[in-house]
Amino acid sequence: MKKMLKSSVAAAVALIGFSGVAAPAFATSTAVKHTCYPLYPTGTKVKAVTSTATCTVSASVVAGDAALTASAATFGAAIGMNTSLDSDLSIPSGVSLNAEGSSFIQPLVMALQSGTGTSYWNPTNSVTWSTYLGSGSGTGRTNVTSGTSNIGFSDQPMTTSRNAGTVPSGVTTSDYVQIPAAFGGAVVAYDLGSALNNLKLSAAVIANIYNGTVTSWADASIVNLNGGNTSKIGKKLIALSSSVKTIKVLQRSASSGTTFAFVDYLNTANSGLPTGVTAGASGAVMGGLGGRGWGASMTGEANNGAMANALVTTPGAIGYVEYSYLLIPGNSAIDTAMLQDAAGAYIKPSIKTIQAAATAAGTNITPDAFSTVYLAGANVWPFATFSWAIIKKDQSANASKGQAAVKFLDWMVHAGQNFAAGQGFIALPTAIKNYDRKQLMSVVNGTQPLLTLAN
């Protein structure tokens, strides 16, 4: 169907759990030049040193933030850089961690938890990870706020912005750090066979399919977008067997950040939703009992992995799935639609067009300004989103777990981004990495920032 990277780690999502990982075998450090970076706020180079010592940032670097002192800005010369001096790799012994949530980010999280060699977080003391099930963004938020998980992953932060409705009952968002941990695209996908891959589907037509007013792949609105009745593609659509021609509409069956991003894309690109349909909270399904009012009869799929499986086993189906799931061996048969960018051109999903979306998103991303769908520009993929990591600020209940969790997150948004492309994601821009580190420095044991503990 298309040339794609294939990730063996992604193929294992939802199949295995993780036990303790072995400590890395570091080469003996000699007098080698290391570049030192401040933890906060800019990430610009401070100086280069010929030593294995830590670098100390002056008080002026942290001036203006009472929570940060000069002593708190002492850090490893290569923090987050995955070297023998990386203090993100220095954690207490005997730690077990639970991370859960978004299936969108699942391939990357699992790769960074259990890769090979130096391609994953391999701290000096082994960590026992619970199995990451990819139960959905809503589970990520509720698990971390209830204390079930040390880290929650969600494709939308906890916020009331954009009608997200993602704040669990009784939760005060200021008690949590929320950071963009990955950037990726999602696709509108279907199962009609390789001869009909890359159909053009407008946001209006997709909305009509999900609202139940377009029910056939041979509908004039689809045929006309793809050359008309007499075109090669049009003839193939009209010639589909009746069982395949009838559109089988797929949705996520439970709380889903991918669903929220999908509806956000349709809402933004169409300048509104169909009559009777509400944007709804991230936890709401699109149709059926408890849904947002979409009119089509829909089949629910538990997560991105289940959605991908349905899209290769249900002729005539349409759904939406995270781009990285196209890279999993066995999923190459999934057909993907060309969507219109904000300039009006139909474009294909690719690392290049998703990268353009990351660039268009800019750097002013916060928990209350998080949407990255249908951004201005040519060749900018319109269906893309950050996935967020959420961690409680006060880790005094178990400082060892807290220290390990916050160091994993700091490593993930720095060294871990080197492995994003291999899992179908886009490496975070430097400004976002710096934003993330500043936020992570507010995770504390008492008053001590956990991220700055020395090796």
| Residue 65 placed within a domain | no
Strand 335-336 and strand 317-322: pairing? Answer: unpaired
With 70 as the cut, is the pLDDT of residue 36 above it? no
How would residue 118 be classed by pLDDT, with cut points 50, 70 and 90?
Answer: low
pLDDT, tens digit, 9 for 90 and up, residues 412-435: 999 899 989 989 999 998 889 888
What is the reported pLDDT for 17? Answer: 28
Q: Are residues 177 and 190 in the same domain?
A: no
Residue 409's pLDDT band, with cuts at 50, 70 and 90, is very high
Residues 110 and 197 in one domain: no
Q: Which residue is it, tokens 């991908």?
A: 308
232 and 119 fall within a common domain: no
Mean pLDDT within 142-149: 97
Q: Which of 146-150, 243-247, 250-254 has the lowest mean pLDDT?
A: 250-254
Report the alpha-carbon distance of residue 186 to residue 251 in Å, rounded: 14
Q: Characterise 193 by phi-psi region: left (phi > 0), alpha (psi -120 to 50), beta (else).
A: left
Lowest mean pLDDT among 46-50, 120-124, 290-294: 46-50
Residue 19 shares a structural domain with residue 152: yes
> Residue 162's pLDDT is what?
74
Q: Is the pLDDT of residue 357 over 90?
A: yes
Q: Looking at residue 296, which CATH number applies to its domain?
A: 3.40.190.10
Are 337 and 407 members of one domain? no
**pLDDT bracket for residue 377 (50, 70, 90):** very high
**Based on the domain organization, do 205 and 145 belong to the same domain?**
no
- What pLDDT is recorded for position 75? 42
Residues 70-84, mean pLDDT to the nearest whole number:
52
Q: Is residue 173 part of a domain?
A: yes
The mean predicted confidence, pLDDT, of the chain is: 82
Q: Is 445 contained in some domain? A: yes
Residue 440 corresponds to which amino acid? L
| CA separation for the pair 407, 402 (Å, rounded) | 8
Q: Are residues 302 and 336 in the same domain?
A: yes
Q: Give domain status of residue 239, yes or no.
A: yes
Are 132 and 234 in a shared domain?
Answer: no
Domain that holds residue 156: 10-26+84-181+388-452
pLDDT confidence of residue 16: 30
pLDDT digits (tens, 9 = 90+) for 294-339: 999 999 999 999 999 999 999 999 999 999 999 998 899 999 999 9
Q: Of 361, 377, 404, at which residue does a domain stop? A: 361
Task: Read off the pLDDT band of 165 (50, 70, 90).
Answer: confident
**Do 420 and 342 sit in the same domain of this protein?**
no
**Do residue 167 and residue 286 come from a single domain?**
no
Q: How far is CA 324 from the centre of its chain?
A: 10
Length of the chain: 455
CA dihedral 87, 153, 9, 374 (to 10 degrees): -110
**56 domain residue, yes or no:** no
Q: What is the mean pLDDT of residues 247-257?
A: 92
Number of domains the chain is built from: 2
355 with 420, same domain? no
Residue 379 lies in a domain: no
Is 104 part of a structural domain of the chain?
yes
381 found inside a domain: no
pTM: 0.81
Same domain, 221 and 332: yes
